[in-house]
């Protein structure tokens, strides 16, 4: 039997800044270095042997990933902790904080069919967030940051989503036999990155 491929699309809105990009002056202002956002569309291409009911995977399984993206990434700003403007953007200065207490590293777990974030050590984390040791009304903007340790280009975000997908397989939300064969991330309707695994 021919290989069967199914696809799921997930939409979300998020901001980022590509601080590492340096274009030639002849191309004009380097807009990607500005704070900006996109209406992203994530496409996942899944393959596996057909199960006894004739499916690769019930599309309902994608609700876990969609739920994670809508709850924890949608309408957030994805910021590289190594961004030279990190202090200016967040309002946190290096000399006024202990990073080990300021940031909490997170990964995903599942409790009674619901996705939750749990704190973890840096090596096992998928991302980090500011902790809640601040007066939320005066510092509520900190809740909008998803802090990563890579420049949040579309290419790097594709790799990040692969890690999130793999984590969901590890904790049993997506069947282990399922293979992610390709992932595509649209930044605009006309531009996308495709990662073939």
Tell me the domains of the chain and their CATH numbers.
5-196 (3.30.479.10)
With a cut of 80, say whether residue 96 has pLDDT above it. Answer: no
With a cut of 80, say whether residue 100 has pLDDT above it. Answer: no
For 187, the token pair is 């930044």
If one counts every other C-beta atom within 10 angstroms of the C-beta of residue 19, the result is 18
Closest CA to 17 of 74, 68, 84: 84
Q: Which of 101-105, 123-127, 151-155 has the lowest mean pLDDT?
A: 101-105
Q: For residues 165 and 147, give the distance between their C-alpha atoms in angstroms, rounded to a whole number.
A: 18
The mean pLDDT of the chain is 87
With a cut of 60, say whether residue 109 has pLDDT above it. Answer: yes
With a cut of 60, say whether residue 137 has pLDDT above it. Answer: no
At residue 48, the pLDDT reads 82
């Amino acid at each position: 039997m021919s290989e069967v491929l199914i696809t799921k699309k997930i939409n979300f809105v998020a901001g980022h800044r590509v601080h590492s990009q340096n274009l030639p002056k002849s191309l004009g202002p380097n807009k990607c270095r500005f704070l900006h956002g996109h209406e992203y569309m994530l496409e996942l291409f899944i393959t596996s042997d057909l199960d006894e009911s004739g499916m690769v995977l019930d599309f309902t399984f994608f609700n876990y990933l969609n739920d994670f993206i809508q709850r924890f990434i949608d309408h957030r700003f994805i910021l590289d902790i190594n961004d030279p403007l990190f202090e200016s953007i967040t309002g946190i200065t290096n000399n006024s904080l202990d990073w080990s207490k300021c940031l909490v590293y997170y990964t995903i777990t599942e409790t009674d069919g619901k996705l939750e974030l749990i704190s973890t050590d840096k090596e096992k984390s998928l991302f980090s967030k500011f902790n809640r040791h601040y007066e939320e009304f005066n510092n509520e903007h900190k809740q909008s940051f998803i802090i990563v340790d890579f420049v949040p280009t579309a290419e790097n975000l594709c790799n990040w989503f692969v890690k999130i997908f793999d984590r969901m397989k590890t904790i049993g939300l997506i069947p282990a036999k399922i293979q992610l064969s390709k992932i595509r991330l649209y930044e605009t309707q006309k531009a996308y990155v495709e990662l073939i695994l």
